[in-house]
Amino acid sequence: MSKKKLWLRSAASAGVLALALTACGGSDDGDGAASTDKGGSVSEGKEKAEEQPEEEKGGGELAAGEKATSEFDEDGTKVTYEIVAQKVDVGTAADTEKLVSDPKKAAGLVPAVAHVEFTVKDGGPVADYPDAGREIQVYADGQRGTILIGASDDAPGCEKSTDVKDWKAGESHVFCDTYMVPEGAKELTVQWAPDRDTDPFVWKFENS
C-alpha cells in the first residue's frame, strides 16, 4: 500500500487537532468523542463470548474488498448495514507535525486514515447523524492505534456524518477515522463491530 499525503482543508489546518490521550493498544476510561474504544476488561469480554453461541457471535477476518453484514441500532432505528473497509491511507512524519498540537507526544507515529463504506441494506431510514462510522478502529501490528480527533472530517474521500440525512436503503456513504500508528508498522487492520459484546469484523492491509 503506497503512502499518501493527507491534505486538510485550510480551515482545519489553521486549527491544530488534538491527539487523544490513549496509548497505542490501550483502552480509554471515557466514552466521549476522544475515542471509539469500548472499554471493559478482557475477562469480561471472554465470558460474554463464551456465553454466546458460536453461530451468533458474528465478526471475523475478511478478505480485502469482502463485505460484512451487520445489524446496528441508530438511536432506536434498526438498520442492517453492508460494510467494507476500502483502504488505509498512511501519512508521514511531516503530516504528524501538521496534525497534532504537540508533535513530541506523537514522536515515531504517523496518521493512518481508514476508509469504510456503509450501505443500508435493510431498515431505516436513518434520519441524521449516523453513529455506525464511530465504531471504526485501526490496529498496527496487533496494537490499537491512538485516535486523532477531528482529522478524518477533512480527509479526501471521507464524508461527515453530520452531512448525512434521511439515509435510505440502497444508499452508501464512506466514513473514516484517523489513528496514529507506529511509523514502519508492517500490517494494519481495520476493525468494526456494532457493540462491545460482538467480535469485530477485521480487514487486513499490508503497509509498504
pLDDT digits (tens, 9 = 90+) for 18-40: 554 333 333 343 333 333 333 33
Task: Give the pLDDT of residue 155.
Answer: 83
Residue range(s) defining the domain that contains residue 156? 10-21+63-202
Angle at 31 between CA 25 and CA 37, to 5 degrees: 25
Can you tell me the distance from the alpha carbon of 39 to that of 129, in angstroms, rounded to the nearest whole number? 23
Task: Flag whether 40 is in a domain.
Answer: no
In a domain, 108, yes or no: yes
Of all residues in the chain, what percent are helix, strand and coil, respectively (each to 5)?
A: 20, 40, 40
pLDDT digits (tens, 9 = 90+) for 53-85: 444 457 999 998 999 999 999 999 999 999 999
Cβ atoms within 10 Å of 176's Cβ, excluding its own: 24
C-alpha cell at 88: 488505509
Q: Is residue 2 part of a domain?
A: no
Is residue 161, in this structure, part of any structural domain at all?
yes
Q: Which helix (H) or strand (E) holds 148?
A: none
- Report pLDDT for 179: 97
- Strand pairing of 201-206 and 60-62? parallel
The number of domains in the chain is 1
- Predicted local confidence at residue 77, as pLDDT: 96
